[in-house]
Amino acid sequence: MIYLQLFLTFLEIGAVSFGGGYGMISLIREKVLTYGWLEEEELLNFIAVSESTPGPIAINMATFIGSSKGGILGAALATLGVVLPAFCIILLIATVIRGLLKYAGVQAFLGGIRPCVVGLILGTSATMFLSAVCHFKTIGGGFAFDWRALLIVAAVALFASLWKKWKTKKPSPILMILVSAGLGMLLYSF
């Protein structure tokens, strides 16, 4: 029942992803790796495509993962799943509980979630770094250092900071993805 699984998984992701953009990346990663839907490398590819195409990343990721696991029906159900919680909650707020966010208790609850989400994103980037650059997943698993990947991470970081100095704003993610694509072709082909 891949269809039901896709729908329920993305329903869960949609219901607890706070903070927009990469807020749901830790949960998506956990789910796709646990179910064996994607490898770490495939997940990173999907994120790159989602980032380089228009539209919210969460929707792009849901459609992409849904389509790769269950064709067009899978894509539709995963996307519906990720949209539905936000849609219902906002409708509730707009109709019945307009002042919901004004309650101090609700604010306190959200105040606890905020630093947690930032921690989850930073933690995810750390474990992804270990997995993508060192091919290290768990204690006792393999370890293979990939100097090219490390070089690319360093080059991209340097590029971003230099660009920020000259142009006074960050380069767009698409530009950085293009730069790293060029570096990847150069370093891995020869």
162 binds another protein (CB under 8 A): no
Contacts with another protein in 29-68 (CB under 8 A)? 30, 34, 41, 44-45, 47-60, 63-64, 67-68
Minimum CB separation from another protein for residue 4, in Å?
Answer: 19
Report the residue number, 4 or 71, with the smaller CB distance to another protein. Answer: 71
Q: Cβ neighbours of residue 180 under 8 Å, at least 6 residues apart?
A: 152, 155, 156
C-alpha span between 109 and 113 (Å, rounded): 7
C-alpha span between 118 and 95 (Å, rounded): 31
User: What's the first-to-final CA gap in the chain, in angstroms?
Assistant: 44
Minimum CB separation from another protein for residue 46, in Å?
Answer: 9
Minimum CB separation from another protein for residue 44, in Å?
Answer: 4
Binds another protein by CB under 8 A, chosen from 5, 8, 127, 135: 127
Q: Cβ neighbours of residue 90 under 8 Å, at least 6 residues apart?
A: none
